Structure 1
Amino acid sequence: MRLSFALVLICGPAFAADCPPPPDITAELTQLFEKSQAASDFRQGQALSNEMWEVWLRAPDAAAQEVLNRGMRKRDVFDFVGALADFDRLVAYCGDYAEGYNQRAYIHFLREDYDNALIDLDIALELQPLHVAAQAGRALTLMRLGRIPEARAQLLVAVENNPWLSEAALLAKGAPLGPVGDDI
């Protein structure tokens, strides 16, 4: 009895129960990847990228969705401390929800805490290997850590899944993750 009362005090009434497991979104993402790879122009590719985000941003329940949305609103107004607290709360509640870790990683990245960003991105990708935004974020984080060959390899995977990523420009000749040396 004391434990459940303590959970309500610490987490609030919305977090008194366990978070349900996130649904399997593999088939949905695979279909979006196929459409993305077949897209004929930037507008169509961006629309599919946005659909991918809609999939990743669906939290397992209403309580988790509320915390995710609140954290993202705080992030959008540069309240990184508040956003980080919300994403900490989200991953504590929904430890199997990849987007909680991805959003927390983004806050770490924005704060130039690349080591912690990489830890969260690795967890996000372990939970949801098809999370293209986490793949791209991991590439950017590795790049900031000076781990260029790993960053290039990671970004190539992300761009293979979604060729319309803005980060793909980093793979161009002369760009930070572009080809090394002259091709024959």
Structure 2
Amino acid sequence: MKILTVSVVALFIAASPAFAQSSRPQIEPRTKQAEPRAKPAPRPNKPDRSRDLNFLFGALKAAPDAEAAKSVEVRITSLLANSGSDTTDLLMQRAKRALDAKDNDLSLQLLDAVVDIRPEFAEGWNRRATLHFLNKNYVAAIADIRHVLAIEPRHFGAMVGFGMILHELDEDALALKVLRKALEVHPYLERIDELVKTLSEKVEGREI
């Protein structure tokens, strides 16, 4: 099965407003000088999501053991799940409830809305990819995973899902490559190291 690589191009348009200047005639030389305006209070710094993710992914890769890695993984997952939009978060919650209730059709409709209104939100694509996988719609799942990895190339959950789909399709050499990539990002992924070992023996043969 040949898989086409999907690339995402971001366009940034910057616009600078023009300010018209008007000159006022000098009324009197004895005019009192205007008192300087009070400086506005500094705004609190907004959390830097990219910086936080970079730090956490670095900590995940350098984690000394599975327990420490799990703690970092939870923080990464939480950060990735935060869309920054109340509407999107509500749709994601409703989609999860629908999926838990085995209403896959409703869950899919809700996730379709998520990726439509928030296409830059990687987790929306990831959740929909998972649903496509559960529905055994592997082509659609792979297409959504491509979107996830274009937005966040370190999304180990999407990589694992991609590897599992490839394994299901008997594309074990590609599955092995993808899962090894996932382990580079998250060295303590549960059960993935065992699957990688099994696939390595199957694809590359046992070491002598």
- Shared fold by TM > 0.5? yes
Residue 125 of structure 2 aligns to which amino acid in structure 1? Y
Superposed, which structure 2 residues align to 1:116-155 within 5 Å?
116-155=140-179
Q: Distance in 1 between matches of 2:168 and 2:52?
A: 31
Counterpart secondary structure, 1:117: helix
TM-score, normalised to structure 1, is 0.79
Counterpart secondary structure, 1:178: helix
> For residue 80 of structure 1, what is the aligned residue in structure 2?
104
| Unmatched runs of 5 consecutive residues or more in structure 1 | 1-22
Q: Distance in 2 between matches of 1:147 and 1:26?
A: 33
User: Which of 168, 174, 196 is 1:171 aligned to?
Assistant: 196
Residue 194 of structure 2 aligns to which amino acid in structure 1? A
Superposed, which structure 2 residues align to 1:19-168 within 5 Å?
25-166=49-190, 167-168=192-193
Counterpart secondary structure, 1:123: helix
Q: Distance in 2 between matches of 1:120 and 1:110?
A: 13
Find the structure with the greater CA-based Rg: 2
Q: Distance in 2 between matches of 1:149 and 1:41?
A: 28
- On the 8 A contact 1:26/1:130 being kept in 2, the answer is no
- On the 8 A contact 2:126/2:145 being kept in 1, the answer is yes
Q: Which moved more, 1:29-38 or 1:61-70?
A: 29-38
> For residue 40 of structure 2, what is the aligned residue in structure 1?
none
Q: Which runs of 4+ in 1 moved over 6 A?
A: none
| 1:146/1:46 CA distance change after superposition, 3 Å | same
- Deviation string 1:64-115 (CA, Å, 9 cap, x unpaired) is 1111121122223332212111101101111121111110000010111111
| 1:178/1:77 CA distance change after superposition, 3 Å | farther
Number of residues paired by the alignment?
A: 159
Q: Distance in 1 between matches of 2:177 and 2:169?
A: 14
Q: Distance in 1 between matches of 2:118 and 2:68?
A: 33
After superposition, the CA RMSD in angstroms is: 1.8
Q: Distance in 2 between matches of 1:79 and 1:178?
A: 38
Distance apart, 1:131 and its partner CA: 1.4
| 1:181/1:118 CA distance change after superposition, 3 Å | same
| 1:65/1:157 CA distance change after superposition, 3 Å | same
Would you tell me which structure has more helix in proportion to its own residues?
1
Q: Distance in 1 between matches of 2:74 and 2:205?
A: 35
Distance apart, 1:24 and its partner CA: 7.2
Q: Distance in 2 between matches of 1:40 and 1:76?
A: 35
